[in-house]
Amino acid sequence: MIEQAKLLVDALSNVLPIIFLLLLGVLLRRTSFIRPETVDDFKKLIVNITLPAVLFMAFSGVDLELRYLVISGSVFILCLLALLAGRLIGPIVGIQSPYFPLLLSGFEAGMLGYAIYGAVYGQESIFRFGIVDLGQVLFVFLVMVPLLERFESGPTPFRVTLLGFIRTPVILAILGGILFAQLGLTEALRTNSVGNSVFETLTLLGALTTPLVALYIGFELQLRSGSQRDPVLTTVIRLAIWITIGIVMNLVLINRLLDLEIGFQSAILTMFVLPPPFVMPLFMSKASVEERNYVLNTLTLATVFALFFFAIVTIVYQPT
């Protein structure tokens, strides 16, 4: 009993700093201390500067192995399967929204996953989460976004979609970090005082990611009007699917077949408890108010659930 209580306290202590920052974000919204436009600027800063800085630093010091690509490819395929499964599950559970299958696939790694994983497991472990993220980023840009755009304005040429993916700051940062590591540039620049100063600057910028993300999410975290039945059901189904997949994937793929360290297992389950991508509402200008509220409320509930289940992940895979 005492041991269980200690585990619970440890889990809460891992996520409490993030929860406090989320609550501060809620307070900032309720008191109108900052404007929504300012929070939008937070997001631009995160997506274009601080998160790419984290990812560049993480991948610039890693020797990538071929087996890592198996993880990325597996996540991409699993997202596709979840999307297809959603089309079958929706009618069975009585959810008719065309957005339901999309809400079962993809994860909000950029605006939440990296922040909570890095805060608990350390910035030096971010590359593991990044390996897992590559697969779902491919899915979001090459499958989810084109489907969302089809709802809005019809099909988008594949070339445009591909270019949009390649030009994403997060992808450029990962590719740049990999290139630096493979060419030996990281080690060479680290021995130079000016080069080392550049890396230290990137480290300082990256440290802003977690607090900015938490404030942004706290500011945006709110339930809209309408029935909560479908958002709750969607969130529960999503978590049931992905937690099951995560446990099986860790036991079979990560542990037995690839024989990778436990850090990858914590990265996979962290990813799989995350909410759907926050980008979805941006492609819903033609959706009805009910559909929009359904998606927004699902994102809100899934975010709250994600923090709870991430605390459990930190118990199962305790940070060292």
| pLDDT at residue 69, as a whole number | 92
| pLDDT at residue 184, as a whole number | 85
- Which CA distances in Å does 22 have to 123, 211, 212, 237? 20, 9, 10, 25
| pLDDT at residue 91, as a whole number | 94
Mean per-residue pLDDT pooled into runs of 10, the chain (320 residues) = 57 79 92 90 91 89 86 96 96 93 93 88 88 90 86 73 81 89 85 88 91 89 82 96 97 94 94 92 83 91 92 86
Domain 2-217+228-316 has CATH 1.10.10.10: no
| pLDDT at residue 28, as a whole number | 93
- What is the Cα–Cα distance from 220 to 112, expressed in whole angstroms? 13
| pLDDT at residue 226, as a whole number | 73
Distance of CA 250 to the CA centre of its chain: 18
Domain ranges of the chain: 2-217+228-316
Q: Express each pLDDT in 52-71 by its tens digit.
A: 998 898 888 877 788 999 99
| pLDDT at residue 24, as a whole number | 94
Torsion over CA: 41, 42, 48, 53 (sign): positive
Beta strands in the chain (DSSP E): none
Half-sphere exposure of 273 (CA within 13 A, CB side): 20
| pLDDT at residue 68, as a whole number | 92
| pLDDT at residue 83, as a whole number | 96
| pLDDT at residue 264, as a whole number | 95
- Which CA distances in Å does 282 have to 5, 222, 251, 278? 42, 17, 37, 8
